[in-house]
Amino acid sequence: MRTIFRGAIAAILLGCAVLPARAETPKDTLVQAYRIDDIISLDPAEVFEFSTTEYINQVYDRLIYYNAQDPANFLPGIAESWTVADDGKSYSFKIRDGVKFHSGNPLTAEDAAYSIRRAIKLNLSPAFIVGQFGLTAENVDTMVTAPDARTLVFRTDKAYAPSFVLNCLSATVSSVVDSKVVEANAKNGDFGHEWLNTHSAGSGPYELGGWKPNESLVMNRFDDYWRGKPGFKRIFFRHVLDPTSQLLLLQKGDVDIARGLTGEQLDSLKSNPDVTVQEVPRGTLWYLSMNTQTEPLKKVEVRQALKNLIDYQGMADSFMKGLAVPHENFLPKGFLGALDDMPFKLDVDKAKQLLAQGGYPNGFQISIDVPNGSPYLEMAQSIQATFAKAGVELQIIASDDKQQTSKIRSRKYQTAIGRWGPDYQDPHTNAQNFGMNLDNGENPPMKTTAWRTSWDIPELTKQTEAAVLETDTAKRQAMYADLQRQIRDTGPYAFMFQQVEAVAARKNVQGLVWGPGTENDFFWQGGKQ
């Protein structure tokens, strides 16, 4: 039996598709068949992708955490308590004693302060989450301080709703890194960024065991974790792109969890006594992104035409069944101000009229970038077929997640299928992403999705900025409802679905926590019966 276990682990590490028959995973090991080709970096200051935000949860601790059962009250992390100053511009966190990093170094308030200051100075993709409170590379050393080993002080440039500030500080970019280890591995003033791309320096229940791009991500248990010894000795993310391969591996017991199955495959598991399927409501959205640098897409009428050339319900009833529900607004259900109305549907005649109004009565040619896997390819093929009904010829360009993400972030695409998950549980996270573009030039302070579509919207940006400062909840809700209508009707996005992730697991796997987003998935209390 020991030989079988070693063979299974070796195959996982190598990303091998062939494992011994019924090579059940070791009892102390959790193996997930999961798509991990979106990984760009393992540095918490850069991580912004679905699989890596889940990785961050297992390896690093944060000050506080979002409370899915009671969103108004946050859960303590390494901060055991916190207070807000009377002027609403200063937050003091009491750092718990006795927390150790994987290196054995004690975790202090200075490590927490260093981690936020480091994120701001590196200014990578997620830095804006904490930077939006007036923090810059020039002032962050005075805005984020550690007056003693157990106290962190976080200052803001103005008074915001406390829930908004705390939601941002619960994001993965605020993960606490071991400042001593990181600085020891720094090169040329990079704050250890190059090293942390492929190493870890956290205090979480697991530490990085190894990462092989497009193959595997391995984490090993940290026995001295301050909350208690984690249940699994090892956690493997095994990159398996094909849903059929995932299903076969799960049925054979070669993996414990499969997370990319189709609706039809999920239905087939209902009669399998060895497998359970859990539907996890997520805040993740799928949408069609349109780069307005592309000539036809500059016209609002053309963008509206394309929104009327998508078979939302047809996809929901077929390959998206069990994976998502139709949703046409930028705020997911469950967020303050979220709208449920869906004005767009497949209407070829209306789309043709709009194309004619926009100056393209005979359609045009355009490309779409998509990740090379399910359900993205199926979405692209469905959109390709319905676009053709109005003369819009769509070329599908498929690549791995990392390549597609790089093209979108550099605005080198025409249309693309995007997948967006909230960075924190406040409506501003999505409003800012889809409704703010502070500078449409090549080096803006924030590269939001609005910037990535080259959508120059100074007035809408002002409205979005005003909504986050509104302290009256009813007024704020109305402002977000108005923003959603404007962005949905005129913007360069066709919002299509809100995710319901189906997690198919071997029946003996217990105790895993699945949140509204991958940044709230936790495995350390899990185990096998």
pLDDT tens digit string along 505-526? 999 999 999 988 888 899 999 9
Contacts 24+ apart (CB under 8 A), 46-52: 46/122, 46/124, 46/125, 46/126, 46/193, 46/197, 47/126, 47/172, 47/173, 48/125, 48/126, 49/401, 49/405, 50/284, 50/419, 50/421, 50/518, 51/217, 51/237, 51/518
Asked whether the predicted pLDDT for residue 314 surpasses 50, the reply is yes
| 383 against 37, higher pLDDT | 383
Q: Which of 63-72, 117-126, 151-160, 506-515 has the lowest average pLDDT?
A: 63-72
Q: Residue 13 pLDDT more than 70?
A: no
Residue 334 — pLDDT band, cuts 50, 70, 90?
confident
Provide the pLDDT for residue 436: 97
Give every CB contact of residue 359 below 8 A, 6+ residues apart in sequence.
Answer: 299
Average pLDDT score over residue span 303-313: 98
pLDDT of 8 over the 50 cut = no
pLDDT digits (tens, 9 = 90+) for 131-184: 999 999 999 999 999 999 999 999 999 988 888 899 999 999 999 999 999 999
User: Can you list the positions of beta strands (E) in 79-127?
Assistant: 79-84, 90-95
> Taking each helix axis from N to C terminus, what angle separates 428-435 and 473-490, rounded to the nearest 10 degrees?
30
Query: pLDDT > 90: what percent of the chain?
Result: 82
Strand residues in 327-449 grouped as ranges (E)? 365-371, 393-399, 415-420
Instruction: Report the distance separating Cα 464 and Cα 479, nearest Å.
Output: 8
What's the CATH superfamily of 283-500?
Dipeptide-binding Protein; Domain 3 (3.10.105.10)
Which CATH fold topology does 199-280+502-528 show?
D-Maltodextrin-Binding Protein; domain 2 (3.40.190)
Confidence class of residue 472 from pLDDT cuts 50, 70 and 90?
confident
**Largest distance between two CA atoms of the chain:** 70
64-91 average pLDDT score: 91
Q: How confident is the model at residue 424 (pLDDT cuts 50, 70, 90)?
A: confident
* 4 pLDDT more than 70: no
Global confidence as pTM? 0.77
User: What pLDDT score was predicted for residue 23?
Assistant: 62
Q: SS in 3 state form for 132-145?
A: CCCCCCCCHHHHEE
Q: Is the pLDDT of residue 16 over 60?
A: no
Tokens of 349: 């005649």
Region 279-305: mean pLDDT is: 96
Predicted confidence at residue 22, as pLDDT, reads 52
Euclidean distance between CA atoms 365 and 379, whole angstroms: 18
- What mean pLDDT comes out for the span 31-52? 94
Q: Where are the domains of the chain?
A: 61-191, 199-280+502-528, 283-500
Domain 61-191: CATH superfamily, name plus number: Dipeptide-binding Protein; Domain 1 (3.90.76.10)
Instruction: Examine the pLDDT at 471 and tell me if it is beyond 90.
Output: no
Q: Which distant-in-sequence residues (6+ apart) come within 8 Å of 217 by Cβ?
A: 36, 39, 51, 55, 210, 211, 236, 237
Q: Rounded mean pLDDT of the chain?
A: 93
